[in-house]
């Protein structure tokens, strides 16, 4: 009953009215039962027991199960027809449904021996499928045409509908491979941070394989996923100049390609560019690209919130703290925040860092206490949480507590087997040095110059991610403390 209830709740008022009208026009007793069950569900009844009692005055039985199944099937059929003609769904989604509708209609005509009319519908579907690179639909339609129309008309028609089948099969395989490898790079970092190490070793192998599949006549869908993969690959290797070149190609490719030209794809391309510009320290360009992404993503959806996050970091790195604060305020009211505790905790963590940067240390500490859900990302955001916690303790000159926190920090790092924590380990060593040198920042920097230089150079495993857990760059923070004070005491 739960799944049927959810389906009914998803219907719009206009859809409910239309379904009722369709059922009301049917004289059959079973249709009337389906209408009655539909109205029961609309009234708020959500259990089989209650619904069956109203409908049959009995506990759930086989007849009740049958009515439920038929009602669900009717709603699915209605949605199939409705969504393929609606103007408020994405163009690509609408095109795919229309194409498949023509194929189903053509198949029905074939079974009735109406070959000429069937061919017209199938050719219409084939044109759409080719224009939008719907590979599986192309293969299905061409197979139908050559085994029905071609078989009846002779070898010439058979050959015509067999033409380019191998190309489409190959391009489907290439596209599938490019998409698979892109997601294998993306998914480990989508909900967590600092998980790149586990895919780094495979990325070069995949990149070489996809380079071999890329050719002059590659399909747009393969090229799209190939560019996305190459961007992620170069990002992993910190080759951001190469990465931004692929991002520019992506931005050019999407609007001019029917199968790709959609707001989500356009927004995603600009968001990718915004992230790369952050790594290139081109903060104005990053803000410009992130603004486009935010504007074009659908308001209230998760991708819009992710674009807001990139925009936040653009403002933060550009030292526009007022704009960064406005982004946080917007994000914490976002509807996606309500259902995702880790997301909410992350934005509180961003706010805590911003409060610290702008001098409100007490508020930063309070906000940090709201971040318990960051404990779930032990190889990423939790490291950032503990790092900011230690920075606040250093501000309070509570050296005893700092020693305890540092031991916990090092134990956390020691448990990480897959994530790259080399930069975090150097930070831990610098904090240990600060403790050993009586809290004197200048002495610490002088004695640990080699370690500090590793963080400043930020090469390979010691790279600082401008949108990662180390929101306040530690090496710059440490040097800034020398400018503010030349001594400290236990």
DSSP string, 301-322: SHHHHHHHHHHHHHHHHTT-HH
pLDDT of residue 486: 44
* Dist. CA 368–CA 382, nearest whole Å: 11
pLDDT of residue 378: 67
pLDDT of residue 425: 95
* Dist. CA 362–CA 124, nearest whole Å: 66
pLDDT of residue 215: 92
The token duo for 114 is 């109406």
pLDDT of residue 27: 62
pLDDT of residue 155: 85
Which pairs with CB-CB distance under 8 Å and at least 24 residues apart come from 389-395?
A: 390/431, 391/356, 391/472, 391/477, 392/356, 392/361, 392/364, 392/365, 392/368, 394/431, 394/434, 394/439, 395/361
The token duo for 119 is 């061919």
* Dist. CA 473–CA 422, nearest whole Å: 15
User: Are the C-beta atoms of 24 and 35 separated by less than 8 Å?
Assistant: yes
Residue by residue, pLDDT tens for the chain (490 residues) are: 777 888 888 888 878 887 887 777 766 677 778 888 888 888 888 888 888 888 788 888 888 888 888 888 888 777 766 655 555 556 788 888 889 989 998 999 998 889 889 999 999 999 999 999 999 999 999 999 988 877 777 788 888 888 889 999 999 999 999 999 999 888 765 555 555 566 777 898 999 999 999 999 999 999 999 999 999 999 988 999 999 999 999 999 999 898 898 888 999 999 999 999 999 999 999 999 999 999 999 899 999 999 999 999 999 999 999 999 999 999 999 999 887 888 888 999 999 999 999 999 999 999 988 777 776 766 678 899 999 999 999 999 999 999 999 999 999 999 887 778 999 999 999 999 999 999 999 999 999 999 999 999 999 889 999 999 999 999 999 999 886 544 433 3
* Dist. CA 237–CA 420, nearest whole Å: 13
* Dist. CA 255–CA 275, nearest whole Å: 20
pLDDT of residue 196: 59
pLDDT of residue 466: 95
Look at the block and give the residue holding tokens 């030209």. Answer: 261
**DSSP state, 466?**
T
User: Are the C-beta atoms of 458 and 464 separated by less than 8 Å?
Assistant: yes
As a residue count, the chain comes to: 490
pLDDT of residue 83: 56
């Amino acid at each position: 009953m739960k799944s049927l209830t959810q389906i009914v709740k998803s219907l719009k008022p206009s859809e409910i009215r239309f379904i009722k009208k369709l059922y009301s026009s049917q004289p059959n007793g079973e249709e009337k039962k389906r209408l009655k069950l539909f109205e029961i569900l609309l009234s708020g009844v959500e259990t089989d027991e209650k619904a069956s009692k109203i409908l049959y005055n009995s506990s759930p039985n086989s007849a009740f199960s049958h009515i439920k199944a038929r009602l669900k099937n009717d709603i699915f059929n209605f949605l199939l027809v409705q969504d393929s003609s609606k103007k408020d769904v994405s163009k690509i989604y609408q095109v795919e449904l229309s194409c498949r509708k023509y194929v189903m209609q053509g198949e029905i005509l074939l079974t009735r021996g109406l070959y000429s009319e069937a061919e017209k519908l199938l050719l219409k579907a084939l044109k759409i499928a080719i224009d939008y690179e719907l590979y599986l639909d192309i293969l299905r339609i061409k197979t139908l045409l050559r085994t029905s129309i071609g078989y009846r008309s002779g070898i010439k028609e058979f050959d015509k509908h067999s033409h380019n089948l191998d190309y489409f099969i190959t391009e489907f395989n290439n596209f599938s491979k490019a998409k698979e490898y892109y997601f294998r790079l993306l998914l480990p970092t989508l909900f967590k941070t600092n998980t790149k190490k586990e895919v780094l070793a495979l990325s070069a192998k995949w990149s070489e394989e996809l380079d071999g599949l890329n050719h002059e006549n590659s399909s747009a869908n393969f090229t799209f996923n190939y560019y996305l993969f190459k961007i992620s690959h170069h990002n992993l290797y910190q080759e951001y100049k190469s990465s931004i070149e692929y991002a520019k190609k992506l931005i050019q490719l999407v609007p001019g390609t029917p199968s790709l030209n959609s707001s989500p794809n356009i927004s995603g391309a600009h968001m990718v560019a915004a992230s790369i510009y952050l790594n290139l320290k081109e903060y104005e360009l990053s803000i410009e690209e992130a603004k486009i992404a935010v504007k074009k993503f659908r308001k209230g959806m998760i991708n819009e919130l992710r674009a807001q996050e990139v925009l936040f970091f653009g403002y933060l790195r550009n030292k526009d703290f007022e704009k960064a604060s406005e982004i946080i305020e917007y994000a914490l009211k976002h509807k996606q925040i309500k259902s995702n505790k880790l997301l909410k905790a992350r934005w509180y963590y961003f706010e805590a860092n911003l409060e610290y940067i702008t001098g409100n240390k007490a508020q930063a500490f309070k906000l940090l206490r709201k971040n318990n859900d960051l404990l779930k990302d032990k190889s990423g955001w939790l490291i950032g949480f503990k790092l900011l916690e230690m920075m606040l303790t250093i501000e309070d000159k509570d050296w005893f507590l700092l020693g305890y926190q540092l031991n916990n920090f090092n134990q956390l790092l020691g448990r990480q087997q897959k994530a790259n924590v080399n930069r975090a380990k150097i930070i831990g060593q610098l904090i240990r040095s600060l403790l050993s040198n009586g809290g004197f920042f200048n002495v610490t920097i002088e004695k640990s110059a080699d370690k500090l230089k590793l963080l400043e150079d930020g090469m390979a495993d010691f790279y600082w991610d401008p949108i990662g857990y180390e929101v306040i760059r530690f090496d710059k923070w440490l040097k800034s403390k020398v400018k503010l004070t030349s001594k400290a005491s236990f």
